[in-house]
Each structure stands twice: as structure tokens, then as C-alpha cells.
Amino acid sequence: MCGFVCLWNVGDEELAGSMIRKIAHRGPDAVEVATLENAPVVMAHCRLSIIGPEDGAQPIYQSSEMLIANGEIYNHRDLRAILGASAFETQSDSETILHLFRSGEARWISRLDGMFAFVLATRNRIVAARDPLGIKPLYLARIGEGYAFASELKAFDGVAVESIEAIPPGTLYDSEAGWRQWYRTPHGAAELEPGTDIDRTAAELRLVLEEAVAKWMVADVEVGAFLSGGLDSSIIAAIAQRVRTDQGKGPLKTFSVGTEGSPDLLAARMVAEHIGSDHREYVFTAEDLAENLRHVIYHLESADVDLVRSAIPTLFAARLARAEVKAVLTGEGADELFAGYTYHHEYVDDPRALADELTRSLGTMHNINLQRVDRVTMAESLEARTPFLDRELIDFAQSIPAALKLCRTDPEAEEATGETTEKWILRKACADLLPTRLVWRKKAQFDEGSGTVDALTGALQRLTGFDEVDRAAEGALYERLLREAYQDPERILENAGTWDSADRVAVPAD
């Protein structure tokens, strides 16, 4: 996991160096600035060594091409075998991008399986792209007649740019061929067809999920897991623990945070004991929130109330985990794939509308929850991995009828109870992994289950001096703190992630 900057037709190494230093928290292991001979390109990279730690330094320079990348290519070993291992000069997974590009295949990028953003340059061409759902960030700005690319908005702060925009998920820019949307999220199925074998559907979902978790655990360093005690993170942790056991490794390290006695801490302890993980927890207070709020908002690059609230416990979890590991698994994506939000209940009698809404919300994750997870974990030099957003899992989950995801009653029950259950098919698929009371535990937002909302009340009182702080005043405080943190806050706010009216609901539980 890394951060990078690329200047094209700008040619200013000093500028590239100053920009990369603003996001150096993303990669504390090494920082490099390099140019490509006889080409108008400068690349800067900060590295967090996860795969190929010995020889995976970037930028990767070979012949007349140069590459910088952020993220992980999980099928890099398979690609090495297909492309010819002898052609590779490093053990870095990112090098596969370079060789696929050289293959000349029209859809070479579609063969990359993972989370990534990259910029690749030749002497007269530049190519930049982002993974299918935008798990890893990538921004593009204009500087005169040239371009500047960066992993975070703060890299551009104080730089005289004409415009900044996020490269959309699943999109590639080629200076020769223009823009391509190389990936489109498959549209979700709706009604339950007669004769559907629900048991087989659940069993196959379990297999696909297990493969996704195993794949997203590939690393040359130890991978832990966030564990909130909610369904999503608990499932991921339970499967990950089994993967480590099968590999003959020790217990999975799990990490949980919350206020004293909060539901998440109690549930996480129960899960950790059940699966046998090596569990760590951190109890935070209102004072902790007040002390870290400015830090959270600066790194989050947003003043949105819901994002800030959920980013606070994420920060404490990231700090706790980074003391032990360099990478963690998280449960992001399950709510969008399997109908886990409270507002989804409005669609319980309209599976088609629910399927459409789930597909839409998958397409907005890059600017909301995925931005929160990326910025806050990388602020602590920690790589967060999201197995629920594995491409094969997305494809399979979208093929499952929405009628099996949100059910007014158990589809297999003889008598209707009238109770609506979110993520029903996911619960069924993983029911044996966890105690029954945890599998069917009702959802709580991360900021509520962790106790953040209550602790935040005290923190806001300390920061404002008022006995009561309503939502509008809370948002105004967050915006003020963001404006104070940046030289050019308008650029940040213009591109900030927000829960707009179309998103309907605040952040997920895991």
C-alpha cells in the first residue's frame, strides 16, 4: 500500500517532492522521486511494504517505461506464470501491471484482480486507471498544459492547479485513446424464481466468500482484522481465522474499539473467544475524541457529519492495529451487496427497486465509506482490505435475488412472522461460523455500536463551550476545522466525500 504523485508535462521535481511529502503517511517505508529519460514525466512514491518488501521499490523503471501504483494485485502470481516469470525483475505485485500493458491486449487491464490505482508512462504516452469500485483513490488536476495525479487531495493543497477531479472507479485514462470505463458493476437480480434452491445458493455464496477472504489475505507480512462485533466483520474474522489455521499459522489478530461497556466491545469479545483470535481492544473517551477530531478531519478530507462520526472509531482501530500489523481485513461492502441498511426496509415489498438501489449504492462507495476507510487507515500507515468487494464475490452476490437479501420473514419458514431481516442470505450462508445470537444480532451503526455518538456529545461540548450542539452546529464545527487545516480549503470541499440526499443513510456497522 502506498501513495504517489505523477506530473506530466510539468517537469518539476521539487514540486513532486513537496506534494509526496504531504501524503508520506501512506508509505513510511520509502520515499522516492524519479524522472523518465527523454519524457515529460516526474513520479514520486511513498511505500508501505506489503508484497515483495525486499525489491518492490517504486517507481518501477524498465526500458522506456515507468510505473507507480497503489494497492494490491491479488492474482499477481497467476499473471506471472501466464506472462512468463523470467520477464519479471522484482517480486512486486505491481510489476504485473507493466507486463500486461506491454502485452498489447485491448482489455489488458481487466485481467487485474485486486484494489489499485496506478499511473504508467512511456516517452510519449501516459495511462492512469482505478480499480472497479474505487477502493484506492486517484485524483487528476490540470497544471497549465500538463497534468498532475495524486492519491489524496491534500497533495494538491497550495499548488496552483486549474481543476481537480477524481478519476471514476473502473475507469482508465489514456493520453492516446482518451477515457474508457473498463468495468461496470453488474446489475442486481430481483425476484426469487420458482424452483430456486436456496440451500445451494447459500452454500455457493459461502464458498465464494471463503475464496475472497483467502485471496485478500495474500501478503508477505501478517494480516489482522478489524472486529466490531457486527455481522460483517465477524464473518470476515471467522473465515480468516480458519484460513490461518489451514496454513498452520497462529491465531488471527483482531482489533476492536469502543467506549467502556459499549455493545461493540462486548460483542467483539464474544466473537473473538468463539473463533479463537488473538484479540486486542482500545477503550476511548470523550477526551480522546476532542483531542483527535482535527486530525481525523484533516486526513478524512471531508467535513460531512456522518463520515466524521464513523471515521473517529476507525482512527482508534487503525492505531491499535498498526502497533501489531501492517494490513487488516474489514467488512465494508456487505451492506451494499446484501441490503444491510435500515432504509432498505422501505424496499422489502419491491425486490426490483431494492436490487436497483443496491447497484446504485455500490457505485457511490468510493466517495463515502471507501474514502473514509482508505484515508483514516492510511493516516496511520495501515493497509485496509475489503474482501466483500472482491470482483468474483460482487458478481455472485449481484446474481442472488434481492428477495433473498431482505426478507419480511424467513423464506423457508412455514408461517410468516412479519419481521424484516437484513442480509438474510448472508446470515444463512455463515450461520455455522458464529453463535446464533451473534448471527442474528440486530444491526447498529459503527458510530452507535462503538459508543462514539454518546462520547462525541461530551467532546463537542468541550470544543464549542455549549451545553447542546445540534447537527447543524456540529457540521459547522467540522467545516471550520477543515478550513483551518488547509491553505486552499475550497478545493478540498469541492471534492469532499459526502452523504448526499440520494444516499439516505449514514455509515455502516462494520
Contact call for residues 321 and 226 (beta carbons, < 8 A):
yes
Instruction: Cell numbers for 497, please give them.
Output: 466525500
Spatial distance between the Cα atoms of 51 and 74, rounded to a whole number of angstroms: 10
Going through 269-398 in order, the beta strands assigned E by DSSP cover 278-283, 327-329, 383-385
Of the candidates 2, 6, 46, 407, the residue annotated as catalytic is: 2
What order do you get walking across the sheet with 178-181 strand by strand? 60-62, 65-73, 114-121, 126-130, 171-174, 178-181
* 42 contacts 66 by C-beta, under 8 angstroms: no
Measure the CA–CA gap between 222 and 263, rounded to whole angstroms: 28
257 labelled binding-site residue: yes
The closest alpha carbon to 376, from 315, 288, 305, 447, belongs to: 315
Residues 96-133 as b or e (16 or more Cβ within 10 Å = b): bbbbbbeeeeeebbebbbbbbbbbbbbeeebbbbbbbb
| DSSP-H helix ranges across 91-250 | 95-103, 198-216, 231-246
According to DSSP, residue 508 is labeled -
Number of Cβ within a 10 Å radius of residue 160: 10
Whether the CB-CB separation of 16 and 59 falls below 8 Å is answered with: no
Residue 374, SS3 per DSSP: helix
Q: How far apart are CA 112 and CA 94, in angstroms?
A: 10
Whether 430 is a known active-site residue: answer: no
What gap in Å lies between CA 354 and CA 350, rounded to an integer?
6
Residue 204's alpha-carbon distances to 15, 198, 399, 405, 425, in angstroms, are: 51, 10, 12, 15, 11
Instruction: Mark out the alpha helices in 217-285 (DSSP H runs).
Output: 231-246, 263-275
Residue pointed to by grid coordinates 482490505: 385
One-letter amino acid for residue 276 of the chain: G
Amino acid identity of residue 235, one-letter, is I
**Measured between alpha carbons, how far is 395 from 402 in angstroms, rounded to an integer?**
14
Asked whether residue 31 is marked as a ligand-binding residue, the answer is no
* Distance in angstroms (rounded) separating the CA atoms of residues 310 and 308: 5
Alpha carbon distance, N-terminus to C-terminus of the chain: 21
Catalytic center residues: 2
Annotated binding site for ATP: 257
Annotated binding site: 93, 257
Annotated binding site for L-glutamine: 93
